[in-house]
Amino acid sequence: MTSGQLIDRFGRQHDYLRISLTDRCNLRCVYCMPAEGMEFQPHEQILRFEEIVEVVEVAASLGVRRLRLTGGEPLVRRDVEKLVAVLSAIPGIEDIALTTNGIYLAQKAEALKQAGVTRVNISLDTMKPDRFAMITRGGDLDRVLEALEASFAVGFSPIKLNVVLMKGMNDDEIDDFLRLSLERPIHVRFIEYMPIGHDDDGWREKYLPLSAVIDRAKALGLTPEKTEKVKGNGPSEDFRLPGARGSIGLIHPVSDHFCGNCNRLRLTADGHLKPCLYWIDELNVRPHIGDKEALRQLFYRALAIKPENHEMAQALERQAQSHTPTLRRMSQIGG
């Protein structure tokens, strides 16, 4: 590993850190939390803003340039804009993005933009109000649509929609999302249902490969054309439909995993550095707060244990895997 850079044993350079600000959420999406809800971490176990800043300062000194704030729902954390302002002032940090369900975004968009958030990803799995309430277990679609308009108004760019595609649940809306990318400068990212935090086979019932999106586009007479990658840190395969103002992206970790160019590490809300979303391996930063050299070494250790890939395809086929999958839910990891 090159000193001062986060390059793992497979030659992948890591310049991107995803930071979960909380495991709490104001929604209960079916693919993220169990129906009975979850037992959230006590507040004292969640990293304080000062601790997050210290970890990011070390990460920046090792070549991390881009941050994404996630949750749970990051905007349920009080004064997020104050954290953003401090993070954006750290030497080396060039880009701060936010992933949100949008419920609180409209009222916070201007403050977040002024603090240093440049772009947002808004989760929107359906454009049908009743279905939205069902998937989110009680969410209000109108508030998310209001957040979308507020994002345009304050100048977030790009604006991306995250659509988790689920068989028999929202796959009949693929056409509607494709048309949305035609009509507005929105980047619609279809995401495969992943087996994160599931200790049963239930996720397979909803799994749908993203080849279905390309098939629907062609059925509409719209041949997707590969396009330059839309600004961001994610692993999407990007396309543009003829004449479209926006684009579509395919994130298919199961059917066509993207591990070969993985550039990210994750910091969970309770202070664990995760080399990979899927596997159980994680390192606790808490004992090293206050010792920047120890934190530097922790980042190196995280890369040393990072595997070559996540093997979700083997999970789909019920094949043996080389590591132990995490039982943390997506809301506990930060996605």
What φ, ψ does residue 18 adopt, rounded to 5°?
-95, 130
Between CA 289 and CA 51 the distance in angstroms is 7
Terminal alpha carbon distance of the chain: 26
β-pairing, 187-192 vs 16-20, is: unpaired
Task: Kindly indicate whether the domain formed by 16-333 is annotated with CATH number 3.90.740.10.
Answer: no
pLDDT of residue 140: 97
pLDDT of residue 327 exceeding 70, the answer is no
The ranges assigned to domains in the chain are 16-333
For the whole model, what pTM was predicted? 0.89
pLDDT of residue 20 exceeding 90, the answer is yes
Q: Report residue 88 as tokens.
A: 């954006």
pLDDT band of 314, cuts 50, 70, 90: very low
pLDDT of residue 323: 61
What pLDDT, in 10s, does the model give residues 91-117?
A: 999 999 999 999 999 999 999 999 999
Q: Report residue 311 as tokens.
A: 């093997």
What pLDDT, in 10s, does the model give residues 33-57?
A: 777 777 888 989 999 999 999 999 9
CA dihedral 152, 158, 164, 167 (to 10 degrees): 90
- Residues 33, 254, 25: CA angle, nearest 5 degrees: 20
Q: Report residue 332 as tokens.
A: 């506990």
Higher pLDDT, 92 or 234: 92
Residue 174 and residue 213 in contact, taking contact as beta carbons nearer than 8 Å? yes
Q: Where are the alpha helices (DSSP H) in the chain?
A: 49-61, 80-88, 105-115, 129-135, 141-154, 174-183, 202-206, 211-219, 292-304, 312-316, 330-333
What are the strands of the beta sheet with 283-284, ordered from one edge?
Answer: 225-226, 237-240, 247-251, 187-192, 159-165, 119-123, 95-100, 66-70, 16-20, 264-267, 272-274, 283-284
Between CA 310 and CA 312 the distance in angstroms is 6
Q: Report residue 275 as tokens.
A: 């080399």
* Rounded percentage of the chain residues whose pLDDT exceeds 90: 68
pLDDT of residue 292: 97
pLDDT of residue 129 exceeding 60, the answer is yes
pLDDT of residue 325: 61
What is the overall mean pLDDT for the chain? 88
Q: Is 323 exposed, middle or buried (0-12, 13-18, 19+ CB in 10 A)?
A: middle
pLDDT of residue 313 exceeding 50, the answer is no
pLDDT of residue 193 exceeding 50, the answer is yes
